[in-house]
Every structure is written in C-alpha cells, then in structure tokens.
Amino acid sequence: MSGTALLQAIVDGILTGGVYALMAAGLTLIFGVMDIINIAQGVMVVLGAYLSYELSAHLGIGLLPGLLITVPAMFALGVALEFFFMRRLREQDRTGMSILITFAVAILIEGALSAIYGVDYVQLHSSYVDKSVYVLGFYLPYIYLIGFGLAVALLAGLYWMLYRTKFGRAVRASLQNRTAADLIGINVNRTRTISVGIGVAVTAVGGMVFGATNAFNPNSGYDLISRLLAIVILGGMGSIGGAMGAAILMLVVSDVVAVAWSPTWAPLVFFAALVIVLSIRPQGLFGSPAIRAQ
Amino acid sequence: MKIFRRCAMAGLVVGAVALLAACGSSSSSSGSAGTSSSPITIGTSLSLSGDFAADGQAFQKGYQLWVHDQNAKGGLMGHKIQLKVLSDASSPAQVVTNYQTLIGSDKVPLVFGPFSTLLTAPSARVAARYGYAFVEGAGGAPAVFTQGLHNVFDVSVPVKLNLVTWAQWVASLPASQRPKTAAFATVDDPFTSPQIPEARSILKSVGVKTVYSKVFPMEVADYTPVAGQVASTHADAFVLGSVDVPTVSAFIHSFIQQHYNPKLFIATAGPDQGATFVKAIGSGNENGIFVPNGWYPGFQKADSQQLVKEYIAKYGGTASGVNADVAEAYAVGQVLAQAVAATHSLDNGKIMSYLHSGVTLDSVQGPVKFNSLGENTAGKTLTFQWQNGNLVQSLPTSTAGSKAPTYPKPAFKG
C-alpha cells in the first residue's frame, strides 16, 4: 500500500465522516435534551432525502436552495413528534420507552414513504454532485466538501446555540433538573419541543447529502441507524462535538483498514475500537459522566 | 382542545396499528386443496421490505401474473390457485420462520422459493425437512446446490457461469484490442462470490493482468476507499460483484468523481433494473455497462412477450421497466404447473421425482432441465449491455437478436 493511498483513505474518511456527523447530529441533540433515543433517526434521514428529491425532481428546485423548504418542514415534523409522542413519555422510564415509540414512528414514516414512492431506488442529482476538484494529487468530490462544510457550520451553530445563548442555558437547565428549571421560570415543554424540532430539522440537511451520495429507498434507514447510534455512543450521548469527532474517527478507521488491510475487516475493526473506547470511557470520547449516570 | 388532542392521538394509534398489520403479511387466505371446488394455496416468502425489497416485490408480481394466467387456464388439476405471501424483510432468519409457518402450520400443499441465494439456501432446508419440492428462480449459487438437498430446483441458469459468456468474449478480442489489466471487487454474498473467480480465470488465461481484487461486506459505510483504489489502478476492465443498484451507483459516481472510465465495465446485478438503475446513476452514465442475465423484456419467445404485455397492462410502465425477477418468478410457476400436470398429483414426492427425471420443460426464460443437484442445465446465460439508453442483448454475439457490443465503453456523461 502506498502512502498516497493511505492519505487518500484518510481524506475520504474525514469527508465522509462529515456527512455521517450531519446525519447523527439530530440523534445526539435529541438525546442530550430529552434522554430520548430516536430509533427513527435513520428513517428521518431518508425522509429528508425524499423531501429534497421531491423538490429537485418534480419542482426543479436545487438541492441547496431546497433546504430552505425541507429544513422548516422537518422542524415542523420534529415539533409534532415531540408534542404527540415524546411528551407523553413518563420521566422515570423515558429512555427505554422512547426506543419503542420512535420505532413505531420509524415504521409509520417508512410505510408512508413506501406507499408514495414504492421500493425503487432513487438518487439526488445536481450539476456538482459528480464534479470534483484536484488538490495536491487528490480528486475531492464537491458534494463531500459541501457536506463537510455544512456539518462544520451546523454543528458549530448547534454548539453556539447550546452554550452561548439564553435558550441554550434553558435547554441545559431543563435537562439537568426539570423541577428546578420550572421553578426559575423556564417553560420546559416549549424548550424541549423547540429542541427536538431543531434536531429533526438538522436531519434534513444530512438527508440531502446522504441522498446525493447514495441511492436510497424507504428501507434504507435501517442500514443507517446502527452506524448513527454507534457514532453518538462513541462520541458521547448528547455531545455535539463528540458526534463530529466520532463520525470522522469511525470513517477514517474504516477507510484506512479497507485500503491497508481489507474492506471486509473495516466494520469489525471499528466496532472493536468502539468496545475498547467504551470499556475505558463508558461515557464516550466527549460525553459527560453525569449524563451516563442518569 | 382536549377532544382534538384525543382524536388526533386516536387517529395516530389506529393508523399505526393498521400499518403494523399491513407490514406483517401481505397475502391471501390460507387453506389447502380439499374438495374439487376448493382452491389450492401456494405459499411463498418474499422480501417485501429490506435490502431485497425491489427484487422481492418484482417477484411477487411475477408470481401473481402466473397465478392469474394459470387460473384462466383452469388452475391446477381443476382447482383455482391462491397465493399466500409472507414477508421476510430480506432476513435469512425470518425466511426460515415463514416457511415453517407456511408448511408446518398453514399446511399449504405447495411452495415457491424466495428471492436471492442468501434466503433460498436456508429455506430450502426447511422445505426438505417436510419433504416439499422447492422450485425457485433466484437461488442459483453453489451455496444452494452444495447442501446435499434433493428437493431444490432452480429454473434459472446457475449463477456461477453468469460472467463466463462475457469473459469468453473479452478473451476472443484481438490481442491488440484486448484489455491489458482488470480489477475485481465484489460484495461478500453467495450470489456474487462464485462468479468472480470464473471470470478472472478466463481473463488470466489470455494474459489479462489482475491489478486489484477485493471482497467488501454487504453493509458498507463508505464505498469510496474501494472505488478509489480501483480508480487508482486505471484498470482497463472492471468487474463488480453486486447484488443491488446502490452498490453499482456508488462505484459509478465515485469513478466519475475520480475521472476514471474503464474500457469495460460489467456488474453482476443492478444494471438489469432498467429505469431504476438509470435514475440512480444519472441518465447517460449507463451506456456501455454490461450485466449478465437469463432473460430480458425483448426476449424473442411468445409467452415471454405475452408476459411483458400483461405486466404493462396490469402494473403500467414500459417494457424496459420489466426486470428479470418477474420472468424468473413466472417461470417457477410454469415449471411447477407442468410437473403437477404430468404427475396428475399435488404429491411433492412425485413432483420431485418427475423434475429429476431428465425431462425438458418450457418457461418464459427458455428450456428448463434439471441435473441431480437441481441446477437448470438447459438454460443459457446472456449478457446485456446498455446502448443509447436501452438495455440490449449483446452476447453471445452469435445468438439471434444480439447487437454488437459497444467497445470501448463510452465515457461517463458525468
């Protein structure tokens, strides 16, 4: 194996890791705010991809401008999900029950998509999807550069929102102690509703990039969810920066193993690394022990 | 407001329950042959969701079209036929449960096979335990035939030989035109894995150097390292062992991004999916790509042409949208019907003996004759190529209806 091939694998891993971070961001945000494990995240990514597909294939709206429509639409969906499903869960068994309720949501969304689109695969197309730029001996695909840029911008935005704004303080206060947050005048329900809305809205962006880099159908979400869960667990449940770091680590490890050793071993090595990291740091790479203790 | 909320919640719950019920099994009533007026139920498990959903649903359409046509001819031994389909979600574990249910609990008198070698191998063992004939159309890999089973009969051509026609054509090219190097990448699947060594061996025998050969898992987070390595070899020929459209699409998009355009590109599955394939990879990128198969919508045979017409009449679309899965499923029904008619019986033992007797049967895919393993030795593998936006029969060049292959492959449109 040449040094060039290894370097190419690292670059590929970083860029693709950005795409996975985009898809996982909503999952870790919703867990961080509500202790809810959103099993529907993979299907929501696919839903985001279909919304972009609908706009681009049938209305002629480009993938990036289309986000101005799909992001608010997914925000509305997130708000509805929180209002109708997540809010009903009791505090004591919220995390466990959330797996069941979000699985039901996944089946609902997948069923609706299957009824509308069938099972044929589609992929998002745009003039820049297959284009690439030649830099220092490597062809870097525009779509992955765009995905990585969006990931950095959105995750930085989420981080800023959570740690530098009054709303972010309300979110973190609601997570740490609901009763105390209520007593100091924070509208906990509204804070959580908006947070879930934001988490699902971010998924619209991840869905667009996923759909432009992969052929997908309504069933594609199931392949995604295990990887997304692995990323947020490795990064630390609830950690926005952790999702980015873990996604890049996961993809770089997978891609380097695929190139240096064999593609067959890439998933195994990643999950072995996941087990090793969690045995040393149960809260994940960037997670807070307090969250794990809850 | 409370009433509105309760109504909305109730609506959602009812919807969820209805959807869950719909996801369980899609099918007709159960029951077995009894009185002369009672229908015969044929059971099958199909991948109506999951990785093989597109193929599974195409198989369902093929089975349904056969049931419709056979019932129009009077059914089986005077009984109307009903099809009972259970969904296996593309899971090898679920398919076993489904056939145990169909045979052990529902006591259907006859069964059809599922989609893919991956699911046929374990389900054929279940059918064998109950003494059932297992006629199938999409389990053609050695993994199915090396289990020592006496009950399995694949109406399609054994997949091990799928790439041989293409490889022999490449080998027959004048030395000056023949590719000098070849790259091979295949998904770890019993359908694809046996095909690659056959092709590689033929190409190697005429001096084509293998510059890359790797196996990658079914669930891949990122195809770019494998595709990137293939691109970096600048191989003249690329052979992809694929089972679906997304895999082929990922490689093609990556090749375009890496400015790599092999002179020859063949994939074991994916390009046969017609308009779906073109939609995924982008119109214009399909030209020059080969795919092996046993059937295509333009196949010159009366019952095949009739099947295409019926499919379009019932499901809409155009001929190019009818993929080979439909014909494979239809052929399963045809072969079983001939066995029942010849034995005048629904007895699975008699049906198996008849199918093993060396008789040559007829199907929309052409002749069917089983060897002792249950492989169809009478069928021929054809190779198709996308030319000017149409999937056309191109190999063997001597076969009626073949169009000369386009070589080298036109550049990707991008």
CATH of domain B26-158+302-368: 3.40.50.2300
pLDDT tens digits along B360-412 = 999 999 999 999 999 999 988 889 999 998 888 999 998 888 899 999 999 99
Q: What stretch(es) of chain B map to CATH 3.40.50.2300?
A: 26-158+302-368, 161-294+382-395
pLDDT tens digits along B253-266 = 999 999 999 999 99
pLDDT of residue B218: 83
Contact between B216 and A258 using a beta-carbon 8 Å cutoff: yes
Residues on chain A touching B214 (C-beta within 8 angstroms): 262-263
pLDDT at B35 over 80: no
Mutate to test the interface with A, among B224, B256, B273, B278 (most CBs of A within 10 A): B224
Largest CA distance in chain B: 81
Q: Contact at 8 Å (CB) between A30 and A38?
A: yes
pLDDT at B208 over 80: yes
Mean pLDDT of chain B: 89
pLDDT tens digits along B65-101 = 999 999 999 999 999 999 999 999 999 999 999 999 9
Check which CATH number belongs to the domain holding A119 and give it.
1.10.3470
Contact between A130 and B282 using a beta-carbon 8 Å cutoff: yes
pLDDT of residue A171: 85
Amino acid type, A204: A
Question: Minimal Cα distance from B248: which residue of A?
Answer: A215
Comparing C-alpha atoms, which of B37, B39, B34 is closest to residue B80? B39
pLDDT tens digits along A187-244 = 888 888 998 999 999 999 999 999 999 999 998 988 889 889 999 999 888 888 888 9
Residue A153 structural domain: 3-293
Q: B302 CB near a chain A CB, below 8 Å?
A: no
For residue A150, what are its two tokens? 């969006």
pLDDT tens digits along B133-161 = 999 999 988 889 999 999 999 999 888 88
Number of Cβ within 10 Å of residue A163's Cβ equals: 12
Q: Looking at CA atoms only, how far is residue B252 from chain A in angstroms?
A: 9
Q: Contact at 8 Å (CB) between A208 and A63?
A: yes
Q: Contact at 8 Å (CB) between A98 and A89?
A: yes
pLDDT of residue B305: 94
For residue B304, what are its two tokens? 């095949």
- What's the number of domains chain A is made of? 1
pLDDT tens digits along B325-341 = 999 999 999 999 999 99
Count contacts between A and B (CB, < 8 Å): 140
Q: What is the CA radius of gyration of chain B?
A: 22
Superfamily assignment of B161-294+382-395 in CATH? Response regulator (3.40.50.2300)
pLDDT tens digits along B240-256 = 999 989 999 999 999 99
Q: Write the residue in B57, B216, B245 that is nearest to A263 by C-beta.
A: B216
pLDDT of residue B31: 36
Contact between B214 and A13 using a beta-carbon 8 Å cutoff: no
What average pLDDT does the segment B41-46 reach?
Answer: 97
Q: Write the residue in B228, B254, B280 that is nearest to A123 by C-beta.
A: B280
Average pLDDT for runs of 10 along chain A of length 294: 83 92 89 85 96 95 96 96 85 83 93 91 92 90 94 91 88 82 87 90 95 93 88 87 90 91 85 86 74 42
Q: Looking at CA atoms only, how far is residue B76 from chain A in angstroms?
A: 32
Phi-psi region for residue A208, left (φ > 0), alpha (ψ -120 to 50) or beta?
alpha
